[in-house]
Structure 1
Amino acid sequence: MADNVLWIITDDQMRSTLRTMDRTWRRLVRKGVHLRRGYCAMPLCGPARASILTSRYPHNHGCDTNMTHPPFVAQGHDRDTVATRIRAAGYDTGYFGKYMNGLAQQPTYVGPGWDRWVALLDGMIDDPRVNVDGTVRQVPSQRAFDRFAAKRLRRFIRRHQDTGPWFAVFAPTAPHGPATPSPEHAHDFDGVAWDPPASNEADMSDKPSWLRDLPPQDRDRMRRVYEGKLEELQDVDDQVAGVLDVLRRTGQLRRTWIFFVSDNGYLLGEHRLFHKSQPYEESAGIPFAVRGPGVEPRTVDALVSQVDLMPTALDIAGLDPDAGRDLDGRSMLEPLRSGDWSGWRRRLLVENTNLDWSMLRTGSSAYIEHHDTAEWELYDLERDPHQLTSLRDADVTEFARTTGQLFSAQGRALRALEQ
């Protein structure tokens, strides 16, 4: 029987917080491949989710604001996704969680290719609506929705104990603010410290002009947001453990690939910034881990992206990822199995087509180009992991050329530029 595939996609989770999820760390990360240099395609929820589902960078799918669902459907992107392709290979499919901002404009919409559909309509936090297979329902709160979605995912898994392979997505709303952890975890991190080296960076002269006069963030507020995120992630940890329990009890764990990522990271005062969308490690970097059949536990520094999820899932299903349309991402399946990443990409693009910047990651370098102001930044992340000092005297001609090429490429041509 073919292997199952499960994607777990959290919301606004920084890389650094993965280690605080004890059971996820022990049972998923440490039993699989921990990819320490995972990145989003664009550090904003909706565009990132569009990239995950299609393996297209934002400059190729054209959905660059958080009101993503309407343009995604209008351009027909929903008719060629990981779901439509993997279902054609005989997989049963299920989506459980947050989908895309703007879904409430089509409250009874069910994405093509999904057999089971439990998706949050982006309503008010105190009055969230849920689309269950095309029928609108109500749940008491957004966090209650995460439990609601996880329960239906577990049911989906149990029902497939003796049937063909399945592909599912679990996308909790946590740790997106405002923080509303369960009573069980509401005080787990009371008073936790938060003072990263780049917090309210003192010397901003190396940053682009619009950043230099930003006021400092309120450190106590940043600490409280951090505390809330950690506590909400304990609820996600419970939900992940519950899913792993069901997989084990039903005999499916050994034939299920599990991918754990976030839609984007988050800035909590680093470089005086709060939120996401910006080209710094805290925002563009995401947790990234994979557990699967025959995968030896290891930590890997390969440059991986959300756009790699779809081709990897299709490869697991025995499909040619480029059949019909070239994908921007590449399959991780062979290096995940062999442990040999020597033939993997050497360059990786991250972008924000709304704020008009691109970032090139290669080796230890992070080159950031701000197209609208013709400004740039260059960091050596080995020597300066917190991006405190841009190398202003460097020759960036080659970085700029490669970034421009990637920013206008797609499919096989884009992947060729990464080598």
Structure 2
Amino acid sequence: MRPSILHLAALAICCLASTHLRAENTKPNIVFILTDDHRWDGLTSAGNEQIRTPNLDKLCQAGTRFENAFVTLAICSPSRAACLTGRYGSRNGVTAVGHASLKKGEPTFARALKEAGYATGVAGKWHLGNSPRDCGFDFASTCWSNGTWYNREFMIDGKKQVMPGFVDDVAVEQSLRFLDQAAEANKPFALWLCTQVPHMDHKHTWPAKQEYKDQYIVGSMPLAATWNDDLEGKPKYLAMSRSRTQALSYGYDDPENIRKHTRDYYASVQQMDAAVGKFLDELERRGLRESTWIILMGDNGWMLGEHGFTSKVLAYEESMRVPMAVVGPGQQPQVRSELVLNIDLTAMIYELAGLEVPRSLHGRSVLPIVQGKTISDWRTSFLYEAPTPQLGSKPLWAVRDARWKYIETDLGNGQVFRELYDLNSDAIEANNVANESRHDDRISQMERQLKAYLKRVVQSD
């Protein structure tokens, strides 16, 4: 039967309405992939030829990879809070891991984008006292903190469910479900995809599938030059801190055990990479890559025997330095060396969505850098803060520039321990030169810089 004229007219009207809606939907989609405990060198594209990360490498090679990216506090909850708010933890209220919550009324990029007409969703690990909905996410399929990697309990649409399979595969499946809902609503979407891996599981192991472990030879794994560090020149408490005692419980007094752990870590990163790859492939299959900005970042690094340590928080490179990349429509591949921070991505998200960047943000949008521009007044140093004792640390602050790193640790009773490292000649931070008189002027300069940074953060509201 041939369609009637009325039927054809109705169909034409529907098509025109659909086209009109798509025309209005001109804001770009945004996907923010946040990996967990992911070292800056946990990518082949970062120069690590032993690890296998084909999907993340493909992403990095398609856009801008930042080789000097850092977090403002290297531990789960504070890093997530900083990403959401674009502000230091000492101002947004989260400087401790666990159920710490953002201050009441603290703005988030998710809430701002939701109000601007975006479909907002989060999938994967959640580690803040605030609920996803409180933070501006309409869609939430999350697992709390860290636990088993397989058959993990998720909170999906407000209901607890044990989800079969690998935790990051589940996060990807739920992310795709969110994309379906955003498409049905005909809205641009902002997705925060948070992997749990390569964070250890609840038993402090990396239970990667054997197929990934088999791709690495234990004896070929790298060993940190400082694995048996006597900690000369570092705060004495570190010899008995959790970073050292936990490492010893893993057997880090034997290089073979460090290499085994490194093998497990690399295999875990590769298994996470495979899960993220499924999402990226599906984004491509749906024809969404050309309208989507993709951000990749680690929430913090992870020490694999450096200075005889495990874990994070401390202001050493393997703890605070992370992988970061931004890929957008029509972008040319590049590697940039500017000092960039997790809080800069927040500012960029506002800018991508066409929103005014709040003046209260401590970060600065990296979009001009991604667009290939040279910014003459870009930061030449930054503040790192860990004011709340975490995982056995004492309160500490640091200033890092392109060459030098200055660390102050509050030992209590008015005692401050100072560290100064020349990263040009001592990239592994083995030799603290703070007590060498030839560096007195530099110490004074960086002390003043630290105080100025702290004052600026405190007065930022």
The answer to whether residue 402 in structure 2 is matched with residue 374 in structure 1 is: no
State the Cα distance separating 1:17 from its structure 2 match: 1.2
Native 8 Å contact 1:259 1:291 kept in 2: yes
**Do 1:127 and 1:138's aligned partners in 2 also have CA atoms closer than 8 Å?**
yes
Q: Which residue of 2 aligns with 1:13?
A: 38
* Residue of structure 1 equivalent to 2:169: 147
Asked whether the equivalents of residues 6 and 259 of structure 1 are also in contact (C-alpha less than 8 Å), the reply is yes
1:40 to 2:71 alignment: yes
Q: Give the whole-Å Cα distance in 1 for the aligned partners of 2:107 and 2:32.
A: 18
Gaps of 5+ in 1: 415-419
User: Corresponding residue for 2:456?
Assistant: 409
Report the Cα distance in structure 1 between the residues aligned to 2:229 and 2:432, rounded to whole angstroms.
Answer: 13
Give the CA deviation at 1:277.
1.1
How far is the alpha carbon of 1:274 from its aligned partner?
Answer: 1.4
Query: Secondary structure of 1:287's match?
Result: strand
Q: Distance in 2 between matches of 1:62 and 1:164?
A: 32
Deviations 1:271-298 (A, max 9, x none): 1211111110000111111111232211
Contact 1:123 1:129 in 2 (8 A): no
Distance across 1 between alignment mates of 2:232 and 2:178? 53
Give the 3-state SS of the residue equivalent to 1:410 in structure 2: helix
Of stretches 180-189 and 395-404 in structure 1, the one that deviates more from structure 2 is: 180-189
Residue identity in the other structure for 2:104: G
AA paired with 2:455? S
Distance 1:22 1:121, change over 3 A: closer
Distance 2:53 2:162 in 1: 32
* Contact 1:327–1:411, Cα closer than 8 Å, also in 2: no
Is 40-49 or 212-221 further displaced after alignment? 212-221
The alpha carbon displacement at 1:241 in A equals 1.6
Amino acid at match of 1:199: W
- The amino acid that maps onto 2:206 is A
Does the aligned pair in 1 maintain the 2:258–2:305 contact within 8 Å? yes
TM-score between the two structures when normalised by the length of structure 1 = 0.89
Superimposed CA distance per residue, residues 81-129 of structure 1 (whole angstroms, 9 cap, x where no aligned partner)? 11101111111111011011567xx7xx744421210110247527742
Matched, 1:349 2:349: no
What is the DSSP-based 3-state SS (H/G/I as helix, E as strand, rest coil) of the residue aligned with 2:418?
Answer: strand
Match of 2:446 among 389, 394, 399: 399
> Between the two proteins, what is the percent identity of the paired residues?
27
Which residue number corresponds to residue 425 of structure 2? 383
Q: Is 1:24 aligned with 2:55? A: yes
CA distance in structure 2 between the aligned counterparts of 1:276 and 1:86, rounded to whole angstroms: 31
Query: Could you say what secondary structure the match of 2:212 adopts?
Result: coil
Deviates more, 1:54-63 or 1:206-215: 206-215
Per-residue deviation, residues 287-317 of structure 1 (Å, max 9, x unmatched): 1111112322111111111111211101000
Aligned to 1:96: 123
Separation in 1 of the partners of 2:346 and 2:189? 14
* Equivalent position of 1:417 in the other structure: none
User: 402, 412, 422: which is aligned to 1:363?
Assistant: 402
- The one-letter code of the counterpart of 1:232 is S
Matches within 5 A, 1:70-149: 71-72=100-101, 75-76=103-104, 80-100=107-127, 110-122=133-145, 124-125=147-148, 128-140=152-164, 144-149=166-171
For 1:278 and 1:401, locate their aligned partners in 2 and report how far apart those are by CA, in whole Å.
21
- Whether the 8 Å CA contact 1:48–1:264 is kept in 2: the answer is yes
Counterpart of 1:175 (choices 198, 218, 227) is 198
CA distance in 2, matches of 1:275, 1:123: 14
Q: Which residue of 1 aligns with 2:22?
A: none
Question: Which of 247, 260, 283 is 1:224 aligned to?
Answer: 260
For each residue in 1:321-372, what CA deviation from the matched residue of structure 2 results, as whole angstroms up to 9, or x when unmatched? 11xx611111111221133233311111111111311111112111111133
Q: 1:34 to 1:374 in 2, by over 3 A?
A: same
CA distance, structure 2, for counterparts of residue 371 and residue 348 of structure 1: 19
Which of 271, 276, 279 lines up with 2:307 in the alignment? Answer: 271
Distance in 1 between the 2:211 and 2:164 partners? Answer: 17
- What TM-score comes out, normalization by structure 2 length? 0.81
User: RMSD between aligned alpha carbons?
Assistant: 2.4
Q: Distance in 2 between matches of 1:235 and 1:111?
A: 31
| CA shift digits 1:366-409 (9 cap, x unpaired) | 11111333111111111111111122321211101111221232
Q: Tell me the distance in 1 between the aligned counterparts of 2:406 and 2:36.
A: 26
The amino acid across from 2:55 in the alignment is T
What amino acid maps onto 1:348 in structure 2?
A: F
CA contact (8 A) 2:224 2:304 kept: no
Confirm or deny: 8 A CA contact 1:329 1:411 kept in the other structure: no
